[in-house]
Structure formats: structure tokens, C-alpha cells
Structure 1
Amino acid sequence: MEKIKMTTPIVEMDGDEMTRILWGWIKETLIEPFVDLKTEYYDLGLLHRNETKDQVTVDAANATRRLGVAVKCATITPNRQRMEEYPELTE
């Protein structure tokens, strides 16, 4: 069976923790065998958002506006409790 061709990429916004793993499985198992998947990838994991001072979030939003479609995984809201789980963010 020939894969469905994509002419325009979609914005792929990776999330945190288990959502990253689940999205990877969904892509690999349910999408990529049937679709010639083209994505523009953005890592919206908490650590990367912190490293980029949230610029990656702005870049992903602008890419979504430009391309018109995106898939976003759940991300962590950096409240006090969650920040304590990531001590490297407060160093």
C-alpha cells in the first residue's frame, strides 16, 4: 500500500513525561505506516521551554499560524510544586 503524501508539513509540539512517549508510539504505530508524515518539530518540554526562556513556545505558535495545523502534546505548567520536581530549573 502506498503511503498518503503530505504536501504541507504540520507543526509537531512535543510535551512532557508520558505524553512524549505516547505521541511517539502513536506516530510510529498508527500514522507513519500509512502517511508520509512531514512535521516541523518543536520541543515544548518544561526543561527546553526554560532553556529558551519560552522562545520555543512563541516559535511553535508562529509556525502554527504559518502552516495552519498543529499537534500538541500535554505540557507541565511550571507551578511551585512542579518546579520542585525539577531542581535544575531553580539552580
Structure 2
Amino acid sequence: MQNLKSISYSRDVFPIIQSNCLSCHDAVNHFDGVVIENYQQISESCRLGEMMDVITTHYAGSLPHMPKGGQLKSCEVEVIRLWIQQGLINN
């Protein structure tokens, strides 16, 4: 795993989103009205807490767990969590 002290949006975060989320949440397939296909949209979802809610919540009554039909690997969730903690840097 890459050095978790310096998470890169383009190297670490966007590939996770691209592989797991864009088939349902791009400008064409905006399931539930959610579009997260660029830095601004992804960082806003993270800033509002929505991203972490849907990739980590596993109980009834919560937002739907994403990605649909599965879940991110724990190391992928950790990368996103650390990126948020590091200030959502666009690098």
C-alpha cells in the first residue's frame, strides 16, 4: 500500500471512485441524483459527510450502502478517510 502519510486525490482517491462509483454516479447515470465524477463533486460529498456515510454504514435506516451490491475494501475506505483528514487536497 502507498504511503498513507500523503494521500493524493489523483493517484489514490479518484481511482477508487472511478472503479467503484462512476458506473452509477456520473453525469449520464446519476442514480438518485448523485454525480461524483470530478474533484469538486467528490470533495463536496466528503465535506458534507455523505461519502463516508454511504461507504461505511451497514445498518438499517441509514443511507444506502455503496457501492451497490458490495462494499469497498477496508484499505480503500481508509484512503478516503485519510484524504478527508488531510484536508481534501486536490493533488
TM-score in terms of structure 1 length: 0.31
Q: Name the structure, 1 or 2, with higher relative contact order (CA <8 Å, separation 6+).
A: 1
Question: Highest Rg: 1 or 2?
Answer: 1
Q: Which has the higher strand share?
A: 1
